[in-house]
Amino acid sequence: MQENPWKIALGTFNQAKRAAVVLGAGVEPICHTVPSGVPDQPMTEDETIQGAINRAKNVLQAIPEAAIGLGLEGGLTYDAVHAKQWYLFSVCAAWDGSRLSIGRGLYFPIPSAIGDRLLQGGGELSQIIDELSGTSGSNHREGAYGLFTDGRITRTDVFRDAVIAALTPFRSSLYRS
Ligand SMILES: O=P(O)(O)OP(=O)(O)OP(=O)(O)OC[C@H]1O[C@@H](n2cnc3c(O)ncnc32)[C@H](O)[C@@H]1O
C-alpha cells in the first residue's frame, strides 16, 4: 500500500464524516457516494459494521487510485445483558484491497423512547435529532452526541477516533506479523 501521500477514498459526502477523516487520517479524502447495502437506519452492531465494510469496499472499487477505502457508518445497538439500554455507535471500516480493519467509536447511551421509536420503524435517527434540536442536517454536524452533551462531544469527534483506530493497523509496524 502506498504510504506518502496517503490517498484515501471515503464512501460519502457527509460533512461530519469528511471532517473526521481530515482529523483522524490527516488528509483530505476523495469523497464518493456508495451504497451501504444495509437499512438506512441500522439497528444492530452487525448491520452497522457490515454497512461500514460495504461502503469501504465499494468506494475503493469506485476510486481505484486510492490506497485505502474508508466506510463510516452510524447505528444503534441494544444492550440487553447489562444496562438494558440503547446505544448509538459509529464505526469506521478500512480496506486496502486485501486487508480489512475495523475501528469502533464511543458507544453513547440513547434515550429509550428514541430507540423504541426507531425499532418500531419510526424513521431515522437524524429525523428525530432534527426534530428535537429544531434544525435540519444534524447528521452532517454535531449530531445526536452534540445534542445530548451540549456540544461536549460531536459526531466528528466520535468518527475521528474510529478512523484513527481503523487506520492504525495499516500505519504502525507493530501490527505486522
Ligand atoms: O450521508 P451518509 O454517509 O449516508 O450518513 P448518514 O448520517 O445519513 O447515515 P449513517 O448510515 O451514518 O447513519 C444511519 C442513520 O443514523 C443517523 N445517525 C447516526 N448517527 C447520528 C447522529 O450522531 N446524529 C444524527 N443522526 C445520526 C443517520 O443520519 C442515519 O439516519
Which residues have CB under 8 Å from 174's CB, separation 6+?
none
Q: In the 8-state DSSP scheme, what is residue 84?
A: -
C-alpha of residue 176 to centroid of ligand 1, in Å: 33
* pLDDT averaged over every residue in the chain: 95
The answer to whether residue 56 is domain-embedded is yes
- Confidence (pLDDT) at 2: 43
Determine the Cα–Cα distance for residues 32 and 59; give it in Å rounded to an integer: 7
- Confidence (pLDDT) at 85: 97
Confidence of residue 123 (pLDDT cuts 50, 70, 90): confident
Task: Using alpha carbons, list the distances in angstroms from residue 75 to 19, 38, 99, 101, 132.
Answer: 19, 11, 23, 18, 18
Atom 19 of ligand 1, residue of closest alpha carbon: 74
Pocket probe for ligand 1: among 126, 131, 135, 155, the residue whose CB has the most ligand atoms within 8 Å is 126
Nine cell digits for residue 25 = 487520517
The answer to whether residue 105 is domain-embedded is yes
C-alpha of residue 100 to centroid of ligand 1, in Å: 22
Of 110, 108, 114, residue with least CA distance to 154: 108
Nine cell digits for residue 108 = 453513547
Confidence of residue 177 (pLDDT cuts 50, 70, 90): confident
Confidence of residue 6 (pLDDT cuts 50, 70, 90): confident
> What ipTM goes with this model?
0.97
114: domain CATH number?
A: 3.90.950.10
Cα 176 from chain centre: 25
Determine the Cα–Cα distance for residues 146 and 118; give it in Å rounded to an integer: 19
Q: What is the pLDDT of residues 42-91, one digit of tens each?
A: 999 999 999 999 999 999 999 999 999 999 999 999 999 999 999 999 99
Q: How many domains does the chain have?
A: 1
- Confidence (pLDDT) at 1: 43
Q: For residue 131, give its domain range.
A: 8-175
Which residues are paired to 72 by β-bridges? Answer: 92
Determine the Cα–Cα distance for residues 63 and 47; give it in Å rounded to an integer: 24
Q: Which residues line ligand 1 (CB under 6 A)?
A: 12, 14, 17, 36, 40-41, 73-75, 88, 124-126, 129, 138-139, 143-145, 155
Q: Which atom of ligand 1 is nearest to the CA of 55?
A: 3
Atom 16 of ligand 1, residue of closest alpha carbon: 125
Determine the Cα–Cα distance for residues 77 and 90; give it in Å rounded to an integer: 11
Confidence of residue 129 (pLDDT cuts 50, 70, 90): very high
- Confidence (pLDDT) at 12: 98
Predicted TM-score of the model (pTM) = 0.95
Determine the Cα–Cα distance for residues 13 and 140; give it in Å rounded to an integer: 9
The answer to whether residue 117 is domain-embedded is yes
C-alpha of residue 8 to centroid of ligand 1, in Å: 21
Phi, psi (5° rounding) for residue 148? -70, -25
Cα 28 from chain centre: 17
